[in-house]
Chain A
Amino acid sequence: MLEVDSLTAGYGDIPVVRGITLAAKAGEILLIGGENGAGKSTLLRAIAGFNRPSGGRVLLEGRDVTGMAPERLAQAGLRLVLDNHRVFPELTVFDNLRMGVAARADRSGFGRSLEEIYAVFPILKERTSQRARDLSGGQQQILALGQAFIAQPKVLLCDEPSMGVAQMLLPPILAFLRNWARSGTAVVIVEQHLTITRPYTDRAMIVRRGEVALSCPSAELDARLAELHEARTQAYARG
């Protein structure tokens, strides 16, 4: 569904992502982990058109969409949910969801998708006429995901869905993404908190200094990471 081929990108001419290749298949969740500043967010933003890649290609359903403007990519079915649960603070919950239609192929299905998202997250229905800024961080994250759900994208990119979200809200959010993927969407999650996220994902990838350090089925991630980590702490402790 989404193929990224040796993508190099950054801010201005600062290369933060160096030749990353990845693929996200319909129905699967790809987890991308890595430390702060490793280039995970930049990678997602480059795929979604926010920074123009200086090299490599992005293919959506086989079509080259490298460097396309983010709003056009969204309309083409590639939807990025930004980190820090970004919603439109002065708009009501309902109007925020309504904005999801901007990237939806058929506007007529809005009501149906709205009912679905209300059914999964009743809190959105309860607060439908409240302004988004009065929601908690977790509720805003749910709203941001809901807005993306309304758009019914082919590919969903999700930047740090756990950021600013209370621990207890994470499992329902991740379960929602799991089900969403099952319906045929390719999902990519960038996340620092791997432990809680990993069980919901199919494949995992670790980015270090803008390059792929590790790529494996999610089930093997813990073991591979433990090896990596042990080697590193030993090196550090030796000084």
Chain B
Amino acid sequence: MLGDLLPNLDVIVTIVLRGTAVGALFAIVAMSFNIVHNAAGIFNFAQGSIFLLGAFGAFVLADRAGFGLWLPMLVLVALAVGALTALQGWITLLPLRSSVEQDSWLISTVAVSVIIAASLTLAFGSQGNMVQGPLPRYTIIGVRTPGAFLLAIGAMFAWYVALRWFLRRTFTGLAISALSQDFDAARAAGIPVRRLQLLAFGVSGVVAGSVGFMVAPMISVSPDAGLRYVLNGFVAAVVGGIGNNTGTLIGGPLVGVIAALTAFYVGGAYQDLASLLVLVLILMFLPQGLFGRAAARKV
């Protein structure tokens, strides 16, 4: 009996690798949530669709133009998605300037998410698309692993380090951090609040869009897939403690591995249900996330 439940090494490695790779994407979406949340106090419900925009960028450009131009196209797509997200931020922040209604962003970001998904459906149809990646498969502990998996995990760490450097070393990044630590003191110091909030939106778009582009080969590039990433990315952010990028490094892969385990033992279609259960349990019992008070400290 027990023997049936305990899989062999190959399966374990597969689950962990796949879970970590998919979880890395959740971590990326969670980081892009955090950037905007820390700077503007807003949770961008459209972040999953924005991530997907990057993947569609890969579908449109990289697949046809060949891999010689992969890198410049990555940069191009990331910047384009970043600019779009900054535009979204501008629209989202418009009503907050004067209105008493301070949570209109909840509605407008959901609306933007619907708009992006609908536009993608119109342009590309509702079916999933396959995208080729530049990397071959590698063999890791006897398991053939798509290159995109490694790219995903690598991107998570790369963006984590890059964001940490940006937020702790550059003047602009420090100013964004200052905004999240003491909003009034930041304004008193003359830090240009609105401009930095838009920049935070833009950066979150660059992060999500670039990774969407890179990992397009390992995901189903279909317009409605954005919801999956927004949901799991949020779970990853909550598990790691909202606002805490370091927490996402654990939260993302954890959610990913739980999803992979669910897929293996119960069935692929139950992955989102598992994430929902994790979300509800965490919110009910550990609303500060796994890392408790550490979550209050923002990166």
A38-69 contacts to B, CB under 8 A, are 48, 50, 69
Complexed CA–CA distance, A50 and B189 (Å): 12
Indicate if A114 sits at the interface (CB-CB under 8 A): no
When distances are taken between beta carbons in the complex, the residues of chain B under 8 Å from A75 are 190, 192
When distances are taken between beta carbons in the complex, the residues of chain A under 8 Å from B185 are 82, 86-88, 144
Whether B188 contacts A88 by the Cβ 8 Å rule is no
Indicate if A98 sits at the interface (CB-CB under 8 A): yes
Choice from B182, B191, B193 contacting A86 with Cβ under 8 Å: B182
Whether B297 contacts A151 by the Cβ 8 Å rule is no
Complexed CA–CA distance, A148 and B189 (Å): 7
Whether B187 contacts A74 by the Cβ 8 Å rule is yes
When distances are taken between beta carbons in the complex, the residues of chain A under 8 Å from B182 are 86-89
Indicate if B266 sits at the interface (CB-CB under 8 A): no
Question: Contacts A86-B182, A88-B178, A98-B174 hold; do A147 and B297 have CB atoms under 8 A apart?
Answer: no
**What sequence of 0s and 1s flags, for each residue 74-92 of chain A, a beta carbon within 8 Å of any chain B beta carbon?**
1100011110001111110
Whether B181 contacts A71 by the Cβ 8 Å rule is no
Complexed CA–CA distance, A74 and B192 (Å): 10
Complexed CA–CA distance, A69 and B298 (Å): 26
Contact stretch, chosen from A22-30, A100-108, A212-220, A228-236: A100-108
Choice from A48, A74, A81, A95 contacting B174 with Cβ under 8 Å: A95
Choice from A86, A90, A103 contacting B298 with Cβ under 8 Å: A90
Indicate if B171 sits at the interface (CB-CB under 8 A): yes
Indicate if B77 sits at the interface (CB-CB under 8 A): no
Residue of A nearest to B178 (CB): A88
B119 CB, nearest partner CB in chain A, Å: 35
Whether B187 contacts A91 by the Cβ 8 Å rule is no
Indicate if A163 sits at the interface (CB-CB under 8 A): no
Choice from A70, A88, A148 contacting B177 with Cβ under 8 Å: A88
B140-183 contacts to A, CB under 8 A, are 171, 174-175, 177-178, 181-182
Whether B192 contacts A91 by the Cβ 8 Å rule is no
Choice from B171, B174, B189, B297 contacting A103 with Cβ under 8 Å: B189
Indicate if A99 sits at the interface (CB-CB under 8 A): yes
Whether A70 contacts B174 by the Cβ 8 Å rule is no
Whether A102 contacts B188 by the Cβ 8 Å rule is no
Complexed CA–CA distance, A102 and B195 (Å): 13
Whether B177 contacts A147 by the Cβ 8 Å rule is no
The B interface is mostly helix, strand or loop, or mixed, namely helix
Chain B interface size, as a band, is 10 to 19
Choice from A74, A90, A101 contacting B181 with Cβ under 8 Å: A90
When distances are taken between beta carbons in the complex, the residues of chain B under 8 Å from A144 are 185
Complexed CA–CA distance, A71 and B187 (Å): 5
When distances are taken between beta carbons in the complex, the residues of chain A under 8 Å from B298 are 90
Whether A91 contacts B188 by the Cβ 8 Å rule is no
A50, A69, A75, A90 — which one has the most chain B CB atoms within 10 A of its CB?
Answer: A90
When distances are taken between beta carbons in the complex, the residues of chain B under 8 Å from A70 are 184, 187-188
Complexed CA–CA distance, A69 and B97 (Å): 11
Whether A74 contacts B177 by the Cβ 8 Å rule is no
Complexed CA–CA distance, A87 and B171 (Å): 16
Choice from A50, A71, A81 contacting B193 with Cβ under 8 Å: A71
Question: Contacts A82-B184, A90-B181, A91-B178 hold; do A151 and B171 have CB atoms under 8 A apart?
Answer: no
Complexed CA–CA distance, A18 and B257 (Å): 61
When distances are taken between beta carbons in the complex, the residues of chain B under 8 Å from A74 are 187-190
Whether B192 contacts A50 by the Cβ 8 Å rule is no
Complexed CA–CA distance, A101 and B170 (Å): 13
When distances are taken between beta carbons in the complex, the residues of chain A under 8 Å from B178 are 88, 91, 99
Whether B187 contacts A89 by the Cβ 8 Å rule is no
Question: Contacts A71-B193, A86-B182 hold; do A99 and B187 have CB atoms under 8 A apart?
Answer: no
B194 CB, nearest partner CB in chain A, Å: 8
When distances are taken between beta carbons in the complex, the residues of chain A under 8 Å from B171 are 98, 101
When distances are taken between beta carbons in the complex, the residues of chain B under 8 Å from A95 are 174
Whether B187 contacts A50 by the Cβ 8 Å rule is yes
When distances are taken between beta carbons in the complex, the residues of chain B under 8 Å from A86 are 182, 184-185
When distances are taken between beta carbons in the complex, the residues of chain B under 8 Å from A100 are 189
When distances are taken between beta carbons in the complex, the residues of chain A under 8 Å from B186 are 71, 88, 99
Question: Contacts A82-B185, A86-B184, A88-B182 hold; do A71 and B190 have CB atoms under 8 A apart?
Answer: yes
A79, A91, A98 — which one has the most chain B CB atoms within 10 A of its CB?
Answer: A91
Complexed CA–CA distance, A179 and B81 (Å): 51
Listed by A's residue number, 12 A-B pairs whose Cβ atoms lie within 8 Å are A71-B193, A74-B189, A75-B190, A79-B188, A79-B190, A81-B188, A88-B177, A88-B178, A88-B182, A88-B186, A103-B189, A148-B189
Question: What are the 7 tightest A-B residue pairs by CB atom distance, in nearest-first order?
Answer: A103-B190, A74-B190, A70-B187, A102-B190, A86-B185, A88-B178, A88-B181
Known: A70-B184, A86-B185. 18 other contacts (CB 8 A): A70-B187, A71-B186, A71-B192, A74-B187, A81-B188, A82-B184, A82-B188, A87-B182, A88-B182, A88-B186, A90-B177, A91-B181, A95-B174, A99-B189, A99-B191, A102-B175, A102-B189, A102-B190
